[in-house]
Amino acid sequence: MDMDKRTLIAIILSIIVLVGYQYFFVKPVPPKPVKEQAKAAQPEEKRQEAAKPVPVIPLMPAVPSGEKEIKVETDLYSAVFSSAGGTIKKWELKKYKDKDGMAVVLQKGQGVIPAMSIGSKNDFNLSKVNFSVSGKDINLDKNTKTGSVVFEYAAPEYSVRRTYTLYYDSYKFDLKDEVTGFPEYWITAGADFGIHDRKDESAHLGPVILKDADRIELDAKKLKEAKSYQDGLKWIAQEDKYFFAAVVPVTRMDEAKAWKVQDASIVAFKGKPGVNDFIVYAGPKEHDKLKELNLGLEHIIDFGFFSIISRPLFWLLKKFYAVAGNYGWAIILLTIITRIPFIPLINKSQQSMKKMQDIQPKMAEIKEKYKKDPQKMQKETMELYKKYKVNPLGGCLPMLLQIPVFFALYKILSIAIELRGAPFMLWVTDLSAKDPYYVLPIVMGITMVIQQKMTPSTADPKQQKIMMLMPVIFTFMFLNFASGLVLYWLINNIFGIIQQFYVNRKMAREQHS
């Protein structure tokens, strides 16, 4: 394989690194369904099947007269509990800000958490009734570490007592449901939970079930009929990119079910009469703190296909942050560390490329001499490679090995809440967002041009023009990438330039000696 082919392979691999993300990790936005056309196109038996009643947990339960609210304040969150359904109608995080600089509100009264529905035929629904509640607003701090809110509902044949126990220093709380008179009941993590940009398809939005060690994502757009899950059920949740609400059963749950309500999807556990205990979490996806809870909630963070690389890199990134106190510098340190193992391989690759450039006249002679004998040409070319110790694939291997690292870092920078709103310096105020002035992508493109000028090449003028398009293509592709990822690629390029400079000088000295 000659230098021209290797150049083209390098181009293709570079594009795969960037474009591959769009194919494998970004979920395409499906076209909006035309409900009436779809309904008319269905066969009669399909329409009858779709018309069959299914358990429904309403997204916006009617607020009955006499509704009473209990407000809970802690250093971490502000919550409003409602007697309407015995649920939480507002959940606001004090430590996190939205794009308008206001405290993040994860629950706004729509899709209350955790809601209850009674009976498989949905003939009685606790989300619609008004519970009795006693007590007053609660303020939790170091002096008052826990507090409880109790809701009760009683009828001649049914009774429900729901107790919330909250803690001043945690996003989790305990939930106990004491149910009598019902054959079964459903408890859900709510719907339309969190703050999210529905145009952002880089992360899953909606219900999740953890079944054994499998994370099952559910999508309202694809959930055409109810799905049931049994055995190994760990928790159910509603998530957005950085936050989630989860219901973790302490009492064994034999079934979880997901079904669509309006334009949202619901996931719920089926409980039994008697006492049902749960742990509920509503807050950020902070990996270390979730792991400390020992509930398996850290699995809500999906590091993707290259998780075996992402997890240690994420751990290392946080260690560097602990030292540097800035995630921008932590990314730079991580870039250096991840490049070190490739230094010998890249050196050999660059030396090989330099030697390939030097033997081009001899390769041209072989091509001309044996142009009518391809087999002889191939044999003589391989002998030439062997004589001058040239590896024709040496330039491709380092790039191939770095692709998993790139995707792993991309995933970390895309989903890690630790980088949400994390500043670097000057105009870069959020490493998880794009550079607002596009300075980093442009500088990165310039470094790619410098690398090309320094890298030995035997390409003809047409191929050189193709190569010159690479920095332009990459610059435009990186314009909307997280600035933290652009920073990683920029620093990687700078070290590549330094390394190429060293190799070129070393080869020049060897030629003159």
DSSP state of 84: B
291 lies in the same domain as 397 = no
Domain-embedded: residue 188: yes
The residue from 302, 328, 359 where one domain ends is: 302
CA proximity to 313, closest of 418, 422, 409, 406:
409
Confidence of residue 113 (pLDDT cuts 50, 70, 90): low
pLDDT of residue 4: 42
Same domain membership, residue 498 and residue 443 = yes
How much is the pLDDT for 173? 94
pLDDT at residue 164, as a whole number: 94
Q: Verify that 296 and 358 share a domain, yes or no.
A: no
* Residue 488, burial from CB neighbour count under 10 angstroms (0-12, 13-18, 19+): buried
Q: Is residue 185 part of a domain?
A: yes
What would the mean pLDDT of 250-274 be, rounded to a whole number? 84
Residue 66 has pLDDT above 90, yes or no: no
Q: Provide the residue range defining the domain that includes 449.
A: 308-512
In what helix (H) or strand (E) does residue 92 lie, and over which residues does it extend? strand 87-97
- Higher per-residue confidence, 151 vs 351: 151
At residue 92's C-alpha, the angle toward residues 144 and 210, to 5°, is 95
**CA–CA distance, 23 with 16 (Å, rounded to integer):** 10
Among 302, 329, 347, the domain-final residue is 302
Average pLDDT for 88-102? 86
| pLDDT band at residue 103 using 50, 70 and 90 as cut-offs | confident
Tell me if 493 is assigned to some domain.
Answer: yes
Structure tokens at 454: 């320094």
Q: Are 167 and 245 found together in one domain?
A: yes
Cα(192)–Cα(261) distance, integer angstroms: 11
pLDDT above 70 coverage of the chain, percent: 71
3-class DSSP assignment, residue 2: coil
Residues 119 and 209 both lie in one domain: yes
Q: What is the pLDDT of residues 293-320, one digit of tens each?
A: 999 999 999 887 778 888 899 999 999 9
How far is the CA of 506 from the CAs of 3, 354, 500, 509, in angstroms?
21, 11, 10, 5
φ, ψ dihedrals at 101, nearest 5° = 80, 10
> Same domain, yes or no, for 296 and 333?
no
239 and 359 in a single domain? The answer is: no
Query: Which amino acid makes up residue 492?
Result: N
User: Is there a domain that residue 5 lies in?
Assistant: no
- What would the pLDDT profile of 373-416 be if each residue is shown by its tens digit? 778 777 777 777 777 766 666 556 666 767 788 788 888 888 88
Q: What distance separates the 2 farthest-apart alpha carbons in the chain?
A: 102
187-223: b (≥16 Cβ within 10 Å) or e: bbbbbbbbbbeeeeeebbbbbbbbbeeeeeebebeeb
Q: Closest by alpha carbon to 300, among 239, 218, 234?
A: 239
205 and 163 belong to one structural domain: yes
The answer to whether residue 12 is domain-embedded is no
Average pLDDT for 242-265: 85
Higher pLDDT, 499 or 50: 499
* pLDDT single digits (tens) 321-332: 999 999 999 999
Verify that 264 and 396 share a domain, yes or no.
no
Q: Distance of CA 282 to CAs 71, 245, 285, 400, 461, Å? A: 16, 4, 9, 40, 59
Closest CA to 149 of 159, 160, 137, 157: 137
Of the candidates 312, 305, 328, 330, the residue with the CA atom closest to the CA atom of residue 320: 330
In this model, does residue 115 exceed pLDDT 70?
Answer: no
What are the pLDDT digits (tens) for 32-44? Answer: 443 444 444 444 4
Mean pLDDT for 494-513 is: 74
pLDDT band, very low/low/confident/very high, at 510 (cuts 50, 70, 90): low
What is the number of domains present in the chain? 2
386 lies in the same domain as 482 = yes
Q: Phi/psi at 254 (nearest 5 deg)?
A: -90, -15
SS3 of residue 438 by DSSP = coil
Q: Which DSSP category does 194 fall into?
A: S
Q: Token pair for residue 179? A: 């149910």
Give the tokens for residue 461.
């003028």
Residue identified by tokens 């945690």 is 170
CATH number of the domain that 206 lies in? Answer: 2.70.98.90
3-state secondary structure of 245: strand
Structural contact between residues 140 and 149, judged by C-beta atoms closer than 8 angstroms: no
Residue 321 lies in a domain: yes
Question: Is 44 domain-assigned?
Answer: no
Residues 319 and 289 in one domain: no
- pLDDT for 198 beyond 60: no
Give the closest residue to 126 by CA, choosing from 176, 64, 70.
64
Q: Per the omega criterion (within 30 degrees of 0), is the bond before 207 cis?
A: no
CA-CA distance, 295 to 277, in Å (whole number)?
14
The confidence band for 507, taking pLDDT boundaries of 50, 70 and 90, is: low
The answer to whether residue 74 scores a pLDDT higher than 90 is yes
Buried b (16+ CB within 10 A) or exposed e, 279-292: bbbbbbbbbeebee
Segment of 24-33, 58-67, 449-458 carrying the highest mean pLDDT:
449-458
Last residue of a domain, one of 269, 286, 302: 302
**Number of residues that make up the chain:** 513
Sequence-ordered list of residues with C-beta below 8 angstroms from that of 325, at least 6 positions apart, any chain: none
Q: Is 52 a member of any domain?
A: no
| 3-state SS class at 376 | helix
Closest CA to 111 of 282, 273, 256, 230: 282
Q: Tell me: do 328 and 257 sit in the same domain.
A: no
- The residue among 502 and 492 whose pLDDT is bigger is 492
User: Is residue 206's pLDDT more than 50?
Assistant: yes
The pLDDT, as a whole number, for residue 220 is: 67
CB of 191 within 8 A of CB of 264? Answer: yes
Bond from prior residue into 61 cis (ω within 30 degrees of 0): no
Residue 464 has a pLDDT of: 64
> How would you classify the pairing of strands 233-239 and 243-249?
antiparallel
Beta-carbon contacts of 104 under 8 Å, excluding residues fewer than 6 positions away, are 92, 93, 96, 97, 98, 195, 243
For 128-148, write each residue's pLDDT tens digit.
788 999 878 999 999 999 999
Closest residue by Cα to residue 490 from 437, 433, 429, 449: 449
What pLDDT sits at residue 283?
Answer: 92
Tell me the per-residue pLDDT of 333-373, one tens digit each, with 9 for 90 and over: 998 888 887 777 766 666 666 666 667 777 777 777 777 77
Q: What is the CA radius of gyration of the chain?
A: 30
- Going by pLDDT thresholds of 50, 70 and 90, the confidence category of residue 224 is confident
Our CA angle for 68, 69, 75, nearest 5°, is 165
